[in-house]
C-alpha cells in the first residue's frame, strides 16, 4: 500500500510551478519559494531531515495558500516515509484538509498514515470520504483494493483522553427521598440518591500486533477507563485485555478475541468477567461499510452473588460518508443477561445514530440513542417488575485549531434520561467533559 499510494498524483493537489518559481525583483538576495523547495528537497534526499523540516516549515508562512499547502504536503510525506513520525504526518495532512477538504490525494495519504498507526477505523472513514469526494476511475480501483487490505500496519499504538467532567448525577441515582417496596416506603440514604460533582475522566487504550501470515495478525488490545471524584466512594474504574487473531479475506475483515474484564467501584472490586467477541466488517459500496458483532461473557459480581450472570450481545451497524466532510451511521443491538436470581435477569435492545461534520478546523459529532429493558420477574422487595426506557444524546467537538503537538482539545456535553418502573433506577443526568486527546 505504501508504494502505490505514495506515487499516486491527482490534478490540483500540488501548487502550480508558476507560483513556486516566482522570484522577487526588489530583494535580489532573497530566495524564492521554488528555491527553498529545491533546497528542502535536496536536504531530504541527502538525509538531512532536520534542515528539510526547517525549510518546509518556513514555507508554511508564505502568503500563497498553494505554496503553504505544497510545503505541508511534502513535509507530511517526509515525516511519514522517512522518519516514521506518523502522528506528526497526520497533523500536517489534516491541516491541509481543513483548508481544502476535496484534496483527494492528501486524504488518501492521511488514510495511509492512520492505517500505519493502527487506526483502521479512521483510515477506512478517510477512504470512504475520498471516494465520496470523487476519484479518477484508475485511482478508485487502487483505493478500493488497499482500503480492503490495509496490510501495512503499525506494530504498536493507542490513544489517551483526559478531561474534567462536571456531572449532575455521578452515581446515576434517583432524586426521590423514598423507595417504595412491598412492605412500605423506605427513606433512602444520601449516598443512594443523585449526587452532583466534578470528576476527572481518564480513558486509554493500546494495542500490539504481530503478523502471523500475509492475511492474519495476532492482535493484543488493552483498555482502561475511570471516573475519579473527591469522594472516592463514587470512583468507577474498568479495564480489559483482549487477545485473538484478525483475518483479512478479500473485502472482509474478521476479528476474534477473548480475555478478562475487571471493574472497581468505590475503590473496591465490583466484578470480574471473561468475554469472547467476534466481529465482521464488510464494505457495501464506495462510501459505506457494515459491521456485525457478537459476544458472550461470564461475569462474577463481587458485591452480590445473585447478580453473577452469563451475558450475550449481538449488534449490527452501518457507517456511510455522504461527502468528504460529512458522514454518519446507525446501530441496532440486543442484549441478554441470565443471572442466578431471575429478578436480576434481563433482556434489552436499542438503537443509536450519529452524524459527524468537519467545520473548518473543528470536527463535530452528534449522537442519539434509545434502549428498552425488562427483567424476567420482579425482585421480592419491589412491587413491580423492572421495565425501563432510556434516552441519551451527546454533542462533541474536537478543536484542531488549538492543537498543541499531538494534543487536541475536546469538548463534549451529554444528556441522559432513564424512565424506570422502580424508583431507585429512575434518574436524569447532564454532564460535560473538557479535556484533550492524543493518539500515539
3-state SS of the chain: helix, strand, coil percent to 5? Answer: 25, 45, 25
pLDDT in tens, the chain (440 residues): 333 233 233 333 433 344 444 444 444 447 788 888 899 999 998 999 999 999 999 998 888 888 888 999 999 999 988 898 888 898 889 888 888 887 877 888 888 888 777 676 777 777 777 666 555 554 555 455 454 444 445 577 778 889 998 988 887 877 776 666 656 566 666 666 777 889 999 999 888 888 888 788 899 999 999 999 988 888 999 999 999 999 988 778 899 999 999 999 998 999 999 999 999 998 887 778 899 999 999 999 999 999 999 999 999 999 988 876 788 999 999 999 999 999 999 999 999 999 988 887 788 899 999 999 999 999 888 888 999 999 999 999 988 777 676 677 889 999 999 999 988 889 999 999 999 887 65
Angle ∠(78,81,86) on CA atoms, nearest 5:
90
**Contact predicate 350/371, CB 8 Å:** yes
For residue 153, the model assigns a pLDDT of 54
For residue 177, the model assigns a pLDDT of 62
**Contact predicate 409/402, CB 8 Å:** yes
Dihedral angle of Cα 419, 423, 425, 430, to the nearest 10 degrees: 60
Residue ranges and CATH numbers for the domains of the chain are 2-149 (1.25.40.10), 156-439 (2.40.160.40)
Amino acid at each position: 500500500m505504501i508504494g502505490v499510494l505514495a506515487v499516486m498524483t491527482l490534478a490540483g493537489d500540488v501548487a502550480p510551478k508558476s507560483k513556486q518559481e516566482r522570484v522577487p525583483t526588489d530583494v535580489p538576495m532573497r530566495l524564492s519559494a521554488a528555491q527553498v523547495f529545491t533546497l528542502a528537497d535536496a536536504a531530504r534526499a541527502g538525509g538531512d531531515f532536520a534542515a528539510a523540516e526547517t525549510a518546509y516549515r518556513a514555507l508554511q508562512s508564505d502568503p500563497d495558500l498553494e505554496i503553504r499547502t505544497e510545503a505541508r504536503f511534502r513535509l507530511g510525506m517526509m515525516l511519514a516515509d522517512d522518519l516514521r513520525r506518523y502522528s506528526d504526518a497526520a497533523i500536517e495532512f489534516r491541516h491541509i484538509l481543513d483548508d481544502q477538504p476535496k484534496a483527494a490525494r492528501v486524504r488518501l495519504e492521511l488514510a495511509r498514515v492512520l492505517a500505519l498507526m493502527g487506526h483502521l477505523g479512521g483510515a477506512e472513514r478517510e477512504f470512504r470520504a475520498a471516494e465520496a469526494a470523487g476519484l479518477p476511475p484508475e485511482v478508485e480501483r487502487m483505493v478500493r483494493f488497499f482500503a480492503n487490505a490495509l496490510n501495512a500496519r503499525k506494530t504498536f499504538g493507542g490513544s489517551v483522553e483526559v478531561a474534567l467532567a462536571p456531572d449532575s448525577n455521578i452515581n446515576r441515582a434517583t432524586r426521590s427521598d423514598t423507595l417504595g417496596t412491598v412492605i412500605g416506603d423506605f427513606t433512602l440514604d444520601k449516598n443512594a440518591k443523585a449526587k452532583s460533582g466534578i470528576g476527572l475522566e481518564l480513558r486509554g487504550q493500546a494495542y500490539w500486533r504481530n503478523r502471523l501470515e500475509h492475511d492474519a495478525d495476532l492482535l493484543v488490545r488493552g483498555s482502561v477507563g475511570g471516573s475519579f471524584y473527591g469522594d472516592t466512594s463514587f470512583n468507577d474504574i474498568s479495564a480489559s485485555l483482549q487477545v485473538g487473531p484478525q483475518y483479512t479475506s478479500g473485502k472482509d475483515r474478521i476479528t476474534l478475541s477473548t480475555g478478562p474484564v475487571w471493574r472497581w467501584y468505590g475503590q473496591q472490586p465490583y466484578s470480574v468477567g471473561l468475554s469472547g467477541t467476534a466481529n465482521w466488517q464488510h464494505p457495501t459500496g464506495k462510501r459505506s461499510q457494515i459491521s456485525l458483532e457478537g459476544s458472550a461473557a461470564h461475569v462474577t459480581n463481587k458485591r452480590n452473588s445473585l447478580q453473577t450472570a452469563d451475558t450475550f450481545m449481538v449488534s449490527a451497524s452501518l457507517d456511510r460518508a455522504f461527502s468528504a466532510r460529512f458522514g454518519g451511521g446507525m446501530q441496532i443491538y440486543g442484549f441478554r443477561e441470565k443471572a442466578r436470581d431471575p429478578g436480576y435477569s434481563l433482556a434489552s435492545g436499542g438503537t443509536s445514530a450519529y452524524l459527524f461534520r468537519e467545520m473548518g478546523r473543528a470536527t463535530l459529532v452528534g449522537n442519539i440513542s434509545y434502549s428498552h429493558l425488562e427483567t424476567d420477574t420482579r425482585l421480592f422487595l419491589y412491587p413491580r417488575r423492572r421495565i425501563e426506557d432510556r434516552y441519551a444524546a451527546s454533542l462533541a467537538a474536537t478543536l484542531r485549531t488549538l492543537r498543541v503537538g499531538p494534543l487536541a482539545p475536546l469538548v463534549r456535553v451529554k444528556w441522559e434520561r432513564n424512565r424506570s418502573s422502580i424508583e431507585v433506577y429512575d434518574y436524569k443526568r447532564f454532564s460535560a467533559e473538557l479535556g484533550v486527546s492524543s493518539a500515539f
